[in-house]
Amino acid sequence: MIRIARIVTIVVLAAHSVLGQSANNMEIVPGDNLVVDGIPKIPASLAQAVNRYNNSRYASLLSWHPLKREMLISTQFGDTPQIHQVKFPGGARTQLTFLTDAVFQAAYEPKKGNYFIFSKDTNGDEFYQLHRFDLSTGDITLLTEGKSRNESPLWSHSGEWLVYGSTRRNGKDMDLYVINPLERKSDRMLAQLEGGFWVPYDWSPDDRKVLVYEYISANENNLWIVDAATGRKTLLTPKKGNEQTAYWFGEFSKDGKGVYVTTDRDSEYQRIGYIDLATGQYKPVTDNIKADVDEFDLSSDGKTLAFVTNDDGIGRLHILDTATCKKSPRLSFRLGLLPVSNGIPMDTIWALPLHRLVIQ
C-alpha cells in the first residue's frame, strides 16, 4: 500500500508538467526534490488519465421545486459557484446564473415555484444582498438596498412573505425585515433587535408569528416569538435566576399550539423538548436518549418527527411518533456523517436546520 501511495503521489505531482507533451511513450521524470527507489518508470499517459481525478467538482442541493420533480443545485464550472437547475432524476444540469460573484444559496417560492430567491455579496465583501430570479424570463431583481448585510431569509408558508435579518439600520445590529419579493416597495422593518446574533427559524402555521433565535454564548441562547404584524417580541425561553440554558433550534408544531426545541435544559445532553405556547410549560420529548440531538424536522402533517443524534461522532437518524413520543426501531439507522452546511459559509446561515429531513 505504501508503494502504491508513492506512485500515485509522483503521478499527481508530475501530471501538470507532462499534459502539454504529445508523445504517448514519454515517461515521467521525477524532480530533483524526490528520491525514487524501487519504483518502476511511469508513462506520461498514466498521468493524463489520473489528472481527471485531480480536478473534481462538487455540487450542492439548494432547493426542491414545490410542485415538480426539479431542483436547484450549486456547482462551479467557471471562477465561482453558480445556480443550476436539474429538471428530472438523472437529467443534465442547466446553468441559470452567470455572475462574477459566488452565489451562496437559493430557495424556490414555496407555492408555485415560478421564481427563487438567492443571496450573494460583491467581491467577497460579505455584504450579502437578496435577489429574485424569474424563471420565465431569466431576469434578476435586487430586493435589498445594496449596502447592508442581509442574512437568513425564510419563506412564510403562504409564499407571500420573506423574513430576513439586516444591518440596514446602523450597520451593526441584525434587525428583522419582511418583504413580498414580488413587490420590492413592501420591504419594511419588522422588529428592532439589539446586540447578539439573531436568526429567524420558523413561521407559525398561520403565518402570524415568527420564531427567532438569539445567540448569546455557547452556553446560553434564547428563542423568541415575534408577531408578524406588529413586531412585538415575547421571550419563549425565560431563565430562572443565573441559570444558563442553551436552546439551539426550534420549530412550531403543526397545530400552532407549541414549539419543539433542542435544548440542554435539565440535562447534560442536548435533547428535544416541547413548549406549550398557552402555558409556557416545558416537556422533554427525547429524555431517554443519551446523546446530543443535532437537528430535527417535523413531517408535513406533524405526526412524525425525524431527528439526528451524534453518537460518538456518527450521525444516527431516528423517527418518532409525536402523539406517543415513541421511536420506531425499524427506521433508526446510522447515517455515517454529521450535519453539513451545504457549502454555505457558517456566518451566512440561510435557515435551519442545515438540511431538511423529508418524511413521505
**Rounded-to-integer distance, Cα 224 and Cα 212, Å:** 5
**Rounded-to-integer distance, Cα 200 and Cα 146, Å:** 21
pLDDT at 67: 96
pLDDT at 19: 42
Please state the domain extents for the chain.
2-54, 57-195, 210-360
Which grid coordinates belong to 171?
A: 450597520
Model confidence, pTM: 0.78
Q: Which of 137, 154, 152, 150 is nearest to 96 (CA)?
A: 137
The residues, ordered by sequence, that sit 6+ positions from 117 with a Cβ below 8 Å of its Cβ are 106, 107, 109, 130, 131, 132, 133, 143, 153, 155, 162, 181
Chain center to CA of 26: 48
| pLDDT, tens digit only, all 360 positions of the chain | 444 444 444 444 444 444 444 444 588 888 888 888 888 888 888 878 887 777 777 889 999 999 999 999 999 988 899 999 999 999 999 999 999 999 989 999 999 999 999 999 999 999 999 999 999 999 999 999 999 999 999 999 999 999 999 999 999 999 999 999 999 999 999 999 998 789 999 999 999 999 999 998 888 899 999 999 999 999 999 887 778 899 999 999 999 999 999 999 989 999 999 999 999 999 999 988 889 999 999 998 999 999 999 988 888 899 999 988 888 765 555 555 444 333 333 333 333 333 333 332
pLDDT at 234: 97
Residues 319 and 328 sit within 8 Å (Cβ to Cβ): yes
pLDDT at 333: 56
The residues with which 234 forms a beta bridge, in sequence order, are 225
Q: List, edge to edge, every strand of the sheet that includes 162-166.
A: 150-155, 162-166, 175-180, 183-191
Which grid coordinates belong to 197?
A: 446574533
pLDDT at 360: 29
Chain center to CA of 304: 22
Does this chain's domain 57-195 share its CATH topology with 210-360? yes
210-360 folds as Neuraminidase (2.120.10)
pLDDT at 270: 93
pLDDT at 343: 32
Pick the CATH number of 57-195 from 3.20.10.10, 2.60.120.200, 2.120.10.30, 3.40.50.2020: 2.120.10.30
Residues 236 and 227 sit within 8 Å (Cβ to Cβ): no
Which grid coordinates belong to 208?
A: 402570524
Q: Which of 226, 277, 261, 266 is nearest to 244 (CA)?
A: 266
